[in-house]
Amino acid sequence: MQANTLTAQSQVHINLAERSYAIHISRGILGDPASYQGLPQASCALIVSNTTVAPLYAAQLQAALKPHFPKILLVTLPDGEVYKNWQTLQLIFDVLLENACDRKTVLFALGGGVVGDMTGFAAASYMRGVPFVQVPTTLLAQVDSSVGGKTAINHPLGKNMIGAFYQPLRVLCDLDVLKTLPPRELSAGLAEIIKYGPIADMEFFAWIETNLDALLAGDAAALAHAIRRSCEIKAWVVGQDERESGLRAILNFGHTFGHAIESGLGYGEWLHGEGVGCGMVMAAHLSERLGLIDMALVERITRLSERAGLPVRGPVLDPVDNAGRYLELMQVDKKAEAGEIRFVLIDKPGSAVMRAVPEAMVRSVIDACCA
Amino acid sequence: MQANTLTAQSQVHINLAERSYAIHISRGILGDPASYQGLPQASCALIVSNTTVAPLYAAQLQAALKPHFPKILLVTLPDGEVYKNWQTLQLIFDVLLENACDRKTVLFALGGGVVGDMTGFAAASYMRGVPFVQVPTTLLAQVDSSVGGKTAINHPLGKNMIGAFYQPLRVLCDLDVLKTLPPRELSAGLAEIIKYGPIADMEFFAWIETNLDALLAGDAAALAHAIRRSCEIKAWVVGQDERESGLRAILNFGHTFGHAIESGLGYGEWLHGEGVGCGMVMAAHLSERLGLIDMALVERITRLSERAGLPVRGPVLDPVDNAGRYLELMQVDKKAEAGEIRFVLIDKPGSAVMRAVPEAMVRSVIDACCA
């Protein structure tokens, strides 16, 4: 399938019984009042954004919400993963309570993954739950936070350790906003898109290989297809396992190594998508060592990630015992159960599996994959 | 029905599809290992308690859990509503993360309503949800926190403003622990029990009138009946409206005034049940002013509350404009929607209704009911 045969407009329906919602993927929808029709009646809307995104898009969103809500508040959070903590979350609650916002208030997450995660958790917790709408402004947030209902903040001892499963009312992926996205962030988003190939759909992987230049150039039709297909795959997985008891864990392909990198370097040093991109390459190597896939696939994944502008070699987190440091960081990861480290691996091309891996093999892969 | 015809052992089943659970009401169950059979397998259990309750019962609970969990942790929080905040909640997350507790960890709330609310919210949020068991040690917590799945912490600008609906796996109401309960706390618990009379069951109200002395004396059979009946009524209401969109609001009878009193005096000055007891008398007066009930019922409620050791006159929160201060405090209550104050009132004896009340009438009742 070629990008030029695609349409730049589509919708993915997320089926979760009474918590079902639609993801709208199109150009110019952020600033279109029609995008916000049919939301619950409320006297108040609160836009949560950050210092980078608010100057670019908050006024547009405010104008589009004006026909629907009598009062529209804005809270602008500091930008960055380091601020994804309780102190920043409090800023949202402060604004809500200072303005006596009731439990019908609708929250709008205008920003990337951090804004989405914090707004979602604030919505899940404020008065034990108010509705919220996602308006993701990064490619990563459009493909990743759009589906799954995961919301969270970080704790000093671990990433995303405090949060809730909470579904948005609607997700609006405006393709135009990706034009203002720095190239490094576009690459980070592509990591989560590429991820779906080896774990779920090798045909999609081949399509990305063919259309990567169009995606990197910001071609709307190509982006729309990549976002829609990623959301569809994620929705299919999440639909079968909303609360991550089993299958859903495969979405964490690349994340175990990725989280160790992010946390070991200090959050914010590498983008989340960069950690995932590199972690995916490491997890592919682990799959190859176990004899699940051949080196040709490892190389295809590595080459595509490199072309997408992603780091493919892990950073050295400890010059004395680098593998030991990685292992230590992976112990506190949520996927560590009963002290055992389990990895999401490629079972065969287009299919994933959870496996406990011998520590010696993990060490050897870390040694081989770090710069 | 007389207290001496009752049994001191019973069970209430809370029907919430896959989140159903049982409330066990009996003597000596806290320290009995059999009480904890059938809980999910986990490598770690965390008991959350406070500085008052832990010295009395933590060792007993630890011993009873020992056959079931390889590792049993304890975190002892400072005691009191003023500590029901994010800072204290962090202490729970700190212990969980410092001990690398995974998402199968079972939390045990050993204490009153504050411990239950905080443990429940910690369980709802830790890794986006781990299982928890309630072991309420106050009468109020046994009848109130046992049913409904409401968990929360306070915000400087409002009580219970940040929380989640989250159900326990099991609730153990040990009647023996009520023996160490200070009389003032027993009275506070009776407020929530008395409450069910005028809003749901006048026969139960008459039973309390007859058996109040037995209840105050700590008679196990009488307490078991009062707890069971209260839980049954609450379960019936909550079962129809788990997320408080309508009917469930009737459980807040007395709470709108009560919260204003608690918050106006500063949390901890009056016990929650004392605020509710007094608020119930004020709400009864409001119902009478609207012609819904006659003064004889208002007097029965007042007399029973007084006999139960509850305050029946509201405190003066502002010597200049007391009613104004009450009204101001009630605006930020969660039941305030779109700036309008709605009250739960007695529609007719044994039946409740939500009504918006003219401000002048509310002022007049506050003036009449405050010391």
State the DSSP string of A14-81.
Answer: E--GGG-EEEEEESS-TT-GGGGTTSPP-SEEEEEEETTTHHHHHHHHHHHHTTT-SEEEEEEEPPSG
pLDDT (0 to 100) of residue A1:
42
Antiparallel, parallel or unpaired: β A21-26 and A71-77: unpaired
pLDDT (0 to 100) of residue A145:
83
The whole domain housing B274 covers: 183-369
Same domain, yes or no, for A201 and A342? yes
Separation CA A134–CA A95 (nearest Å): 19
* Long-range Cβ pairs for the range B367-370 (8 Å, 24+): B367/B322, B367/B323, B368/B285, B369/B278, B369/B281, B369/B282, B369/B285, B369/B313, B369/B314, B370/B313, B370/B314, B370/B315, B370/B316, B370/B322
- B333: pLDDT confidence band, cut at 50, 70 and 90? low
pLDDT (0 to 100) of residue B4:
42
**Facing residue for A102 by CB, picked from B124, B151, B338:** B338
- B246: pLDDT confidence band, cut at 50, 70 and 90? confident
pLDDT (0 to 100) of residue B243:
65
Q: In chain B, what percentage of residues exceed pLDDT 70?
A: 95
A254 conformational bin, left if phi > 0, alpha if psi -120 to 50, beta if neither: left
In eight-state DSSP terms, residue A370 is B
Q: Which of B148, B180, B212 is the last residue of a domain?
A: B180
Per the DSSP assignment, residues forming a β-bridge with B48 are B75, B109
Same domain, yes or no, for A214 and A332? yes
Q: Tokens 């490598």 appear where?
A: B43
Separation CA B83–CA A364 (nearest Å): 48
| pLDDT over threshold 80, residue B336 | no
pLDDT in tens, B255-272: 999 999 998 998 778 998
Same domain, yes or no, for B214 and B326? yes
Same domain, yes or no, for B13 and B47? yes
The two tokens of residue B264 are: 């106006």
Q: Which of A36-45, B13-22, B28-37, B307-316 has the lowest mean pLDDT?
A: B13-22
Same domain, yes or no, for B91 and B200? no
B334 part of contact set with chain A, CB < 8 Å: yes
Same domain, yes or no, for A349 and A240? yes
Q: What is the mean pLDDT of residues B159-169?
A: 95
Q: What is the mean pLDDT of residues B344-360?
A: 93
- A244 contacts in chain B (CB < 8 Å): 128
Residue A290: how many CB atoms within 10 A of its CB? 17
Whether residues A97 and B339 touch (CB distance < 8 A) is answered with no
The CATH number of residue B47's host domain is 3.40.50.1970
**Facing residue for A336 by CB, picked from B93, B102, B337:** B102
| Chain B residue whose CA is closest to A242 | B128
Please tell me the total count of domains within chain A: 2
- B2: pLDDT confidence band, cut at 50, 70 and 90? very low
Q: Which of A117, A152, A180 is the last residue of a domain?
A: A180
Whether residues A100 and B339 touch (CB distance < 8 A) is answered with yes
- B1: pLDDT confidence band, cut at 50, 70 and 90? very low
Q: Give me the DSSP letters along A160-227.
A: EEEEEE---SEEEEEGGGGGGS-HHHHHHHHHHHHHHHHHH-HHHHHHHHHHHHHHHTT-HHHHHHHH
CA proximity to B50, closest of B95, B111, B4: B111
pLDDT (0 to 100) of residue A3:
43
pLDDT (0 to 100) of residue A82:
87
Same domain, yes or no, for B38 and B115? yes
Rounded to the nearest angstrom, the minimum Cα separation between B82 and chain A is 18
Mean pLDDT by 10 residues, chain A (371 residues): 58 83 95 96 97 98 98 96 94 96 96 96 98 97 90 92 96 96 96 96 98 96 96 89 75 93 87 94 97 97 98 96 92 54 93 91 94 81
- A246 contacts in chain B (CB < 8 Å): none
| pLDDT over threshold 60, residue B29 | yes
Same domain, yes or no, for B224 and B327? yes
Whether residues B339 and A104 touch (CB distance < 8 A) is answered with no
- A338 contacts in chain B (CB < 8 Å): 43, 102, 104
Q: What is the mean pLDDT of residues B273-279?
A: 96
- B140: pLDDT confidence band, cut at 50, 70 and 90? very high
Q: What is the mean pLDDT of residues B203-210?
A: 98
- A149 contacts in chain B (CB < 8 Å): none
Same domain, yes or no, for B172 and B295? no
Pick B240 or A262 by higher pLDDT: A262
pLDDT (0 to 100) of residue A239:
80
Per the DSSP assignment, residues forming a β-bridge with A352 are A346
| pLDDT over threshold 90, residue B121 | yes
- Active site members of B: 128, 150, 192, 234, 244, 248, 252, 255, 259, 272
A83 annotated ligand binder: yes
The CATH number of residue A334's host domain is 1.20.1090.10
pLDDT (0 to 100) of residue B338:
47
Pick A157 or B245 by higher pLDDT: A157
| pLDDT over threshold 80, residue B174 | yes
Rounded to the nearest angstrom, the minimum Cα separation between B326 and chain A is 16
List the alpha helices (DSSP H) in chain B: 54-65, 86-98, 113-125, 139-144, 183-200, 202-216, 220-240, 255-265, 272-289, 295-307, 322-331, 359-369
Same domain, yes or no, for B189 and B99? no
Same domain, yes or no, for B135 and B236? no
Q: Which of A71-75, B178-182, B246-250 has the lowest mean pLDDT?
A: B246-250
A111 annotated ligand binder: no
B162 part of contact set with chain A, CB < 8 Å: yes
pLDDT (0 to 100) of residue B245:
63
Same domain, yes or no, for B57 and B205? no
Q: Which of B113, B147, B180 is the last residue of a domain?
A: B180
Residue B107: how many CB atoms within 10 A of its CB? 27
A–B: how many Cβ contacts below 8 A? 94
- B128 contacts in chain A (CB < 8 Å): 150-152, 160, 163-165, 243-244
**Facing residue for A97 by CB, picked from B100, B150, B161:** B161
